[in-house]
Amino acid sequence: MSNVTALTGFILGGFSDVQEIQTLCGVLFLVMYLATLMGNLIIITLITLDLQLQTPMYFFLKNLFLLDVFFVSVPIPNFIVNSLTHNSSISILGCALQILLMTSFSAGDVFVLTSMSYDRYVAICCPLHYEAIMSDGACVLMVGFSWATGIFFGAIYTAGTFSITFCGSNVIPQFFCDIPSLLSISCSGTLVVIYISFGIAICLGMSCFICVVISYFYIFSTVLKIPTTKGQSKALATCLPHLIVFTLFLATACFVYLKPSSNSPTITDRLFAVIYSVLPPALNPVIYSLRNADVKWAWKRLLHNICSRFSLHVTL
């Protein structure tokens, strides 16, 4: 038995030992990563530049997309480099940094999504007091709390994970460092710190889930009282993307972290990890763009301004 400090690093598991398949996986992940990055950054830029999108809802949305960009940028670029260079080693510091950042950004996602549900509750159930309740200061405070709490959880989880001992194989059965994979190669007899951290996370996660459920209970109750179908559709249109994004994030996280652990992970386990780390950040911009009239009009205004400036430049 050896302590983690005696190790020189870990070996990350890939999708195949064949170099040609590793290269193909690296290229496919590079395309997915660039598409995800572009989609999120375009929406972030759009929200930042368009004055009509300077509302609390889009302020939370911009922070959600920023968290998604940071989250997907932790495991995927490293996996791309490993696949293309056929070198799957990762240092202890690199592994700890992956866990710290991924846990921090995913926790931040949960709190921002919870804040967005409260924003939708105030907008629909208390429209006359919306500007007073969702002031700039309140929004900044809620987002600041989300980021700070996420970093706090990331630090707790990282410290707890690397307080345990590892022995035997140093091969992590996943393409990035995560807590379930590290626990599967641990030989530590006591995991008190991990259990405490996990318990705190479950309590806060359930609290956020209950807050979202309660918010939508009052939202749907209020919407059903709207006399016209058009009014109901308009109110629900602002809530549906958030509800889809929250459900998608929760479902993919449960697939990865609540499934029974296995000492011999299958390709399905790694595919679930891909879905968790790539799918929500990739789909969030699409979900918020397809059925959102404000975003569509912002697109049109941005393209019109670009075309106008280009025409003016050509004329001059």
For every one of its 316 residues, what pLDDT tens digit does the chain have, with 9 covering 90 and above? Answer: 344 445 667 888 777 777 888 889 889 999 999 999 998 998 898 888 888 888 898 999 999 999 999 999 998 998 888 888 888 888 888 888 998 999 899 999 999 999 999 999 999 998 889 999 999 999 999 999 999 999 988 888 888 777 777 776 778 878 888 877 777 777 765 566 667 777 777 788 888 889 999 999 999 888 888 888 877 787 777 788 888 888 888 877 777 666 655 555 566 677 777 877 888 888 888 887 766 777 777 777 777 777 776 665 555 5
- What are the φ and ψ backbone dihedral angles of 261, each rounded to 5 degrees? -75, 150
Region of residue 138 (left: phi > 0; alpha: psi -120 to 50; beta: else): alpha
Cβ atoms < 10 Å from Cβ of 292: 19
Architecture, CATH, for domain 4-315: Up-down Bundle (1.20)
- In sequence order, what are the residues at sequence separation of 6 or more whose Cβ sits closer than 8 angstroms to the Cβ of residue 116? 57, 60, 61, 64, 242
Beta-carbon-side half-sphere exposure of residue 126 (alpha carbons within 13 Å):
11
Extents of the domains making up the chain: 4-315
Distance from C-alpha of 178 to C-alpha of 270, rounded to nearest angstrom: 12
